[in-house]
Structure 1
Amino acid sequence: MALRNSDPPGAMQIEAVLFDMDGVITDTATAHLAAWKRLFDAYLLSEGRAAEPFSEADYRLHVDGKPRYDGVQSFLASRGIELPWGGPDDDPETETICGLGNRKNHHFQAWLAQNAIEVFPGSRALLCELDATGIRAAVFSSSRNAREVLDSAGVLARFEVLVDGQDMAETDLPGKPDPAIMLRAADRLGTAPERVAIIEDAISGVEAGVAGGFAQVVGVERSSDESALEKAGADLAVADLAELTIGEGRRLVARKMHSTPLAWEARGAIRERMEGRRVAVFLDYDGTLTPIVDDPAAATLGEGMRAALSRLSAKVRVAIVSGRDLKDVQALVQDETLYYAGSHGFDLAGPDGWRHVVEKGAAFVPILKDAAETLAARLASIDGARVERKRFSLAVHFRQVAPPDEAAVAQAVRETIAEHDGLHASAGKKVYDVKPRVDWHKGRAVLSLLTTLDLDGEDVLPIYVGDDTTDEDAFRSLSDRGLGIVVRDGADRRTSARFALRDTGDVERFLLWLADVVGGEGVP
Structure 2
Amino acid sequence: MGLQMSHSNMQKKVKPCYGPLNDDDVDDHDNNDNGTSGSLALINPPVVASYDSWVMQHPSALDTFDSITKEAKWKKVVVFLDYDGTLSPIVEDPDKAFMSAEMRMAVREVAKCFPTSIISGRSREKVKEFVQLSNVYYAGSHGMDILAPPRAVKSSDKKANEGAFQPAKLYLPAIQEISVELEDTIRDIQGAMLEDNKFCISVHYRQVQPKDHEVLKQRVKSLVENRPDFRLTEGKMVLEVRPSIEWNKGDALNYLLDTLGFSNSKDVLPLYIGDDRTDEDAFKVIAGRHEGFPIIVSSIPKDTIAWYSLRDTSEVLAFLLRLAKWKKSETSFFK
Q: Which residue of 2 aligns with 1:408?
A: 215
Q: Which residue of 2 aligns with 1:318?
A: 116
Q: Contact 2:294–2:307 at 8 Å: present in 1 too?
A: yes
Q: Which residue of 1 aligns with 2:296?
A: 486
Unaligned runs of 5+ in 1: 1-124, 136-196, 200-221, 229-236, 248-254
Q: CA deviation at 1:359?
A: 4.8
Q: Distance in 2 between matches of 1:509 and 1:198?
A: 32
Determine which of 324, 347, 350 is the counterpart of 2:148.
Answer: 350
TM-score w.r.t. the length of structure 2 is 0.76
Compared with structure 1, are the counterparts of its residues 298 and 345 closer, same or farther at alpha carbon in structure 2 (3 Å cutoff)?
Answer: same
Q: Which residue of 1 aligns with 2:81?
A: 283
More contact order relative to length (CA 8 Å, sep ≥ 6):
2
Q: Contact 2:145–2:166 at 8 Å: present in 1 too?
A: no
TM-score w.r.t. the length of structure 1 is 0.50
Q: Distance in 1 between matches of 2:38 and 2:235?
A: 17
Compared with structure 1, are the counterparts of its residues 286 and 227 closer, same or farther at alpha carbon in structure 2 (3 Å cutoff)?
Answer: closer
Q: CA deviation at 1:227?
A: 8.9
Q: Which residue of 2 aligns with 1:224?
A: 36
Q: Residue 507 in 1 paired to residue 305 in 2?
A: no
Q: Contact 1:257–1:495 at 8 Å: present in 2 too?
A: no
Q: CA deviation at 1:479?
A: 1.8
Q: Residue 452 in 1 paired to residue 262 in 2?
A: no
Unaligned runs of 5+ in 2: 17-33, 152-159
Q: Contact 2:297–2:309 at 8 Å: present in 1 too?
A: yes
Q: Contact 1:322–1:342 at 8 Å: present in 2 too?
A: yes
Compared with structure 1, are the counterparts of its residues 452 and 225 closer, same or farther at alpha carbon in structure 2 (3 Å cutoff)?
Answer: same
Partner letter of residue 368 of structure 1? I
Higher helix share: 1
Aligned residues: 292
Compared with structure 1, are the counterparts of its residues 466 and 429 closer, same or farther at alpha carbon in structure 2 (3 Å cutoff)?
Answer: farther
Q: CA deviation at 1:455?
A: 2.3
Q: Give the aligned CA root-mean-square deviation in angstroms.
A: 3.5
Q: Which residue of 1 aligns with 2:155?
A: none
Q: CA deviation at 1:358?
A: 4.1
Q: Distance in 2 between matches of 1:256 and 1:413?
A: 36
Structure 2 matches for 1:364-403, cutoff 5 A?
Answer: 364-403=171-210
Partner letter of residue 495 of structure 1? T
Compared with structure 1, are the counterparts of its residues 497 and 413 closer, same or farther at alpha carbon in structure 2 (3 Å cutoff)?
Answer: farther
Q: Which residue of 1 aligns with 2:235?
A: 428
Q: Which has the larger radius of gyration?
A: 1
Structure 2 matches for 1:112-511, cutoff 5 A?
Answer: 223-224=35-36, 260-352=58-150, 354=160, 356-456=163-263, 457-481=265-289, 482-488=292-298, 492-511=301-320
Compared with structure 1, are the counterparts of its residues 403 and 262 closer, same or farther at alpha carbon in structure 2 (3 Å cutoff)?
Answer: farther
Q: Contact 1:282–1:463 at 8 Å: present in 2 too?
A: yes
Q: Distance in 2 between matches of 1:496 and 1:320?
A: 20
**Cα deviation code 1:112-157 (max 9, x no counterpart):** xxxxxxxxxxxxx9xx76x967x9xxxxxxxxxxxxxxxxxxxxxx
Compared with structure 1, are the counterparts of its residues 452 and 400 closer, same or farther at alpha carbon in structure 2 (3 Å cutoff)?
Answer: same
Partner letter of residue 135 of structure 2? T
Q: Distance in 1 between matches of 2:196 and 2:312?
A: 28
